[in-house]
Chains A and B, each alone.
Chain A
Amino acid sequence: MQRRESRTAQIAELGVLTAAALIIFVIENQIPSPVPIPGVKLGLANIITVYAVYHYKWSDALLLVLVRVILGSVFAGTMISFAFSISGALLCLAGMIPISKLIGEKYIWLSSVMGAVLHNAGQTAAAVAVMKTTAVIGYLPYLMISGCIAGAFTGLAAQLVTVRLDSDRKKGEKSSNDDA
């Protein structure tokens, strides 16, 4: 899975991925939520997170997510949405990274489901802290179900992206080998 590639190329790729994640995040934020439950959304930016978890060191994936969350809050939200995003994102990564190592590339969608579920759990924990009441836990089961669905969806999308990028990369390597 780990590719031989120069660090510079990796950093450039990470930059592009972060920008892509940010754009997806900002655009998705403009679409009003169809369900009247705070926190329910597809989380399309997580396609990039899932991809990064599978293709980079954990520290790189973490950095990408941190930058995306911080800049995303600056562009689109308020400090309060930052608190929810960051706690969700960190718990999501903390679970998804070991799970991805355990179950391998064949089950990207599955890591993504677990990641989404953990993301929503982290958000709920932050909401309990911010609102100073456990009343918001009433939404947790809804968020878990929506997390399973959204996670499977973004996971499948990430799987498609992986297949595409891998085949592109092979072509690229081939052509650069030909050049040499």
Chain B
Amino acid sequence: MTAACIFMGGCSGGNGYFDEPVSKSDFLMDTYMTVTVYNGSSSAPEKALSRAGELEKKWSVTDSSSEIYAADHSGGKPVTLSEDTADLVSFALSMNEKTDGALDISLYPVLREWGFTTGEYRVPEDSRITELLESVGCEKLSLDGRDITVPDGMSIDLGSVGKGRAGDEMIKTLKENGVTSAMLDLGGNIQLLGSKPDGSDFRIAVRHPSGEGNLAKVEVSDCAVITSGGYERFFEQDGNIYWHILDPKTGCPAHSGVVSATVIGKSGTLCDALSTSLFVMGTERAADLWRASDDFDYILVTDDGRAVITEGIENSFTLYDEFSSMTVEVVRREK
């Protein structure tokens, strides 16, 4: 039935939308990924997922056959990476500079000390964090073409950018398979290809920072919508809440006043990296970075109950009724 649709679609000039969207899911990169396509080849979702599986194998920090594992366990010797991996590392290093250190792929040892990598949470001693921070810092890494050197005692992980890049790569695979309308849900990272079959925008809910229910919705097409929030992974000890987004400067959970950061833009990789970075940077530095760029918009929710959004998203952003009394501040470009 679906095959017939595609065939006919091909003949009638690209108007080949399926009667029912084709959807496939798999558990990859620690999240439940769902790919939904509205046209193109019905095997496209499966191909996109296997592309994500391929990347997971290269980027896993725990799989001893992965490239990242090899780099982390090289004892300070150079390791040659595949193009996929070298590209992403190079992007992450440039983001480290752009965000003034808010995004740091070498923070992994500290994240592990807090137990966020295993679920065995604990609050480390201050002295232990200071000690671990000695071996954190992107400037100590060197990437020469496809050869990376991770000094002994340091570890990198691509967790803050990997899902976004995987999304971009999956979209690429979908396009190669004739898809022009699709939605990827990668455990809360939403990436959209084109618009819905009827030409309307996708309506994407932005989760409330508590993790319960939704705060607002945005109506957008052909872009990524990626949120980082403290609710995603956290633990409580002695009445304090510790979440998994750490400030590389302190080695402790970031307290910039931002409790959830949603970034919307064409590149999933960029949005993924920025959602973590803006959470760490806070509203002021986020606005400065946005004014110096032109490839993303954001929605930040603050701990004093404000929503700070950029002007590019102003018209497609709607708060849900329960939160209509919330203050919304719009950041504009200075003239």
Could you tell me which A residues sit within 8 Å of B by CB distance? Answer: 132-134
CB distance from A137 to the nearest CB of B (A): 11
The residues of B that contact A133 with a CB separation of less than 8 Å are 211-212
CB distance from B124 to the nearest CB of A (A): 22
How many positions in chain B have a CB within 8 Å of any CB in the partner chain?
Answer: 2
Q: Name the CB-closest residue of B to A133.
A: B212
CB distance from A3 to the nearest CB of B (A): 43
CB distance from A61 to the nearest CB of B (A): 29
Q: Name the CB-closest residue of B to A134.
A: B212
The residues of B that contact A134 with a CB separation of less than 8 Å are 212
Is chain A's interface secondary structure helix, strand, loop, or mixed overall? loop
Is chain B's interface secondary structure helix, strand, loop, or mixed overall? loop
CB distance from B291 to the nearest CB of A (A): 37
CB distance from B202 to the nearest CB of A (A): 26
CB distance from A127 to the nearest CB of B (A): 15
Report Cα–Cα, A132/B234, bound state, in Å: 10
Report Cα–Cα, A96/B150, bound state, in Å: 63
The residues of A that contact B212 with a CB separation of less than 8 Å are 133-134
The residues of B that contact A132 with a CB separation of less than 8 Å are 211
Some 4 contacts from A to B, beta carbons below 8 A apart, are: A132-B211, A133-B211, A133-B212, A134-B212
Would you list the 4 A-B pairs with minimal beta carbon distance, nearest first?
Answer: A134-B212, A133-B212, A133-B211, A132-B211
Report Cα–Cα, A133/B212, bound state, in Å: 7
Q: Name the CB-closest residue of A to B231.
A: A132
Bitwise interface map of B from 126 to 166 toward A, beta carbon under 8 Å scored 1, else 0: 00000000000000000000000000000000000000000
Bitwise interface map of B from 195 to 233 toward A, beta carbon under 8 Å scored 1, else 0: 000000000000000011000000000000000000000
Report Cα–Cα, A134/B212, bound state, in Å: 8
Q: Name the CB-closest residue of B to A129.
A: B236
CB distance from B85 to the nearest CB of A (A): 34
Report Cα–Cα, A132/B121, bound state, in Å: 15
Report Cα–Cα, A134/B211, bound state, in Å: 10
CB distance from A13 to the nearest CB of B (A): 39
Report Cα–Cα, A133/B208, bound state, in Å: 13
Q: Name the CB-closest residue of A to B212.
A: A134
Q: Name the CB-closest residue of B to A135.
A: B212
Bitwise interface map of B from 149 to 186 toward A, beta carbon under 8 Å scored 1, else 0: 00000000000000000000000000000000000000
Report Cα–Cα, A132/B231, bound state, in Å: 10
Report Cα–Cα, A79/B328, bound state, in Å: 44
Report Cα–Cα, A133/B211, bound state, in Å: 8
Q: Name the CB-closest residue of B to A132.
A: B211
Report Cα–Cα, A132/B212, bound state, in Å: 10
Report Cα–Cα, A32/B211, bound state, in Å: 34
Report Cα–Cα, A103/B211, bound state, in Å: 43
Q: Name the CB-closest residue of A to B235.
A: A132
The residues of A that contact B211 with a CB separation of less than 8 Å are 132-133
CB distance from B237 to the nearest CB of A (A): 13
Report Cα–Cα, A133/B210, bound state, in Å: 9
Report Cα–Cα, A132/B232, bound state, in Å: 11
Report Cα–Cα, A132/B119, bound state, in Å: 14
Report Cα–Cα, A61/B281, bound state, in Å: 53
Report Cα–Cα, A130/B326, bound state, in Å: 29
CB distance from A51 to the nearest CB of B (A): 36
CB distance from B238 to the nearest CB of A (A): 14
Report Cα–Cα, A28/B211, bound state, in Å: 37
Q: Name the CB-closest residue of A to B236.
A: A129
Report Cα–Cα, A83/B54, bound state, in Å: 42
Q: Name the CB-closest residue of A to B213.
A: A134
Report Cα–Cα, A9/B291, bound state, in Å: 80
CB distance from B240 to the nearest CB of A (A): 15
CB distance from B28 to the nearest CB of A (A): 23
Report Cα–Cα, A167/B173, bound state, in Å: 83
Report Cα–Cα, A123/B212, bound state, in Å: 21
Report Cα–Cα, A134/B210, bound state, in Å: 11
Report Cα–Cα, A11/B144, bound state, in Å: 77
